[in-house]
Structure 1
Amino acid sequence: MIEDEIIDALKDILKEGIELKKNLQSNDDNNMNYKNEPSLSAMGGKEITTPICTYEDLKQYISKIAKIIDQNGSTDENTGFHIHISTIDENIEVDFYKFMLLCSEASLLHNWGDRNAFCLNVMDVLTVLNIKEANKLKSKKGRVWNLEKRREHNKTNHVEIRTIGGTNYQRKVEQILSELNQFIEIFNRSIKNQNRDEAYKSILQEHMEILKSASEERKEKFLQLIR
């Protein structure tokens, strides 16, 4: 009965022309999706995804879905909230390296703690993370980093952010929206062929100094992991 109520509640927040698709093998990006989540199967975990939409629509979905979760379910350290950002023009290129460093500089990569092995901090590779174990995990369970460069159809205009989540994250909508604003600003700043970014140049030089202190083997493995 509770699941029926969740499905009805999700249908009620959909915009005209958008449908709720249940238990598809792969998500329908033009509609909302509700299905079992294998990584949470022992707890009957579910995944909800919104259709591709504008930022204004996304903010509404986030607020309303968070309320539905809080009224009908729960979240724990195994649960996460993923955000996809891309440009309408698929020919635009995003400098992922710049995106990553600017997110780190803005302290956006560790605000939600280390939840599980499927959202590792990309910036920990040089200082904390065991690279052999990181490679093993990445091969075993697909994407594991809290920032990912998505390459559908060899396009480079799409990033996935997996930093947000954990116990009761659905009760922190204000923080989610605040961080989302910052991610979007950094995404726009990371689009290639823009004006010279002197502030980023300084951040990049500082990071390069850190990399210089690492062995050549370690640097190459790091670069392979984030490409």
Structure 2
Amino acid sequence: MKKSIFLIIIVIFSSCVFKRITPFKESPKGMAFINAGSYRYADFPEEDSPNWGELSYIENFEEGGVRYGKIIDGYKEGKWLSGDAGFDTLGNVYAIGGIWKEEYFKHGLRDSIFRQFDNDGKVIYETTFKMGTGLWKEFHDNRKVYFEAYTKDGYFTDTLRLYNKEGKKFEKRLYQKDVLVYYAGNDWSLRYRYKPNDNTYLEVDSYELKNLKQGSFRNTFSYKTKEEFENDHFAKSTLKR
């Protein structure tokens, strides 16, 4: 009886995790689905990825739809397409309909051609990356720049500025490699302090206005472990902007 219940639980869990979220033909390999929220720019080489050998992979983004590609030993590899794409019977990604981005990876780093397309399929940006080094640009659907930032070895090398569809800057973020240390938005600013002491994983200081030097201090959010921060509902909706 216990064995039967266990098998039913496994089947239910599998149907939730391995699900098809957009029309495509056939994917013979394992397929995983993750909700990446609004982190469409958080594509660093050491980000957490499933390490299940080789699998065809779908990433779902709040902006821009879905991205299809292959992960091998936990790293993005080969061709990735964003838009209406899928996998053939050999597990290779191909375009079914409209595509808004084409990119290539080598051991988790962008390498070779990087293209962005508008809604009519016309190239609006094309460049070449060399093992994660190059100028990364993303665009809104009206061809306005969402952000542009140089990357080196897959990480940001300058302040990331985000623009709305009208071309107005609405956020600024400072990274040290893949670690966010400063966020400035329309309503407040946040400063992230990782491992400030032996008992704390992260402290986030909140300030009024848009500038840490000019804004008045509001409060501090403290998390003892990484898991506590990752699982906190308030952090997901506010501090992980």
Structure 1 and Structure 2 fold alike (TM over 0.5): no
TM-score bucket (shorter structure):
under 0.3
The structure that is helix-richer by fraction is: 1
> Greater RCO between the two (CA within 8 Å, min separation 6)?
1
Q: Normalising by structure 1, what TM-score? A: 0.28
The structure that is strand-richer by fraction is: 2
* Structure having the higher Rg: 2
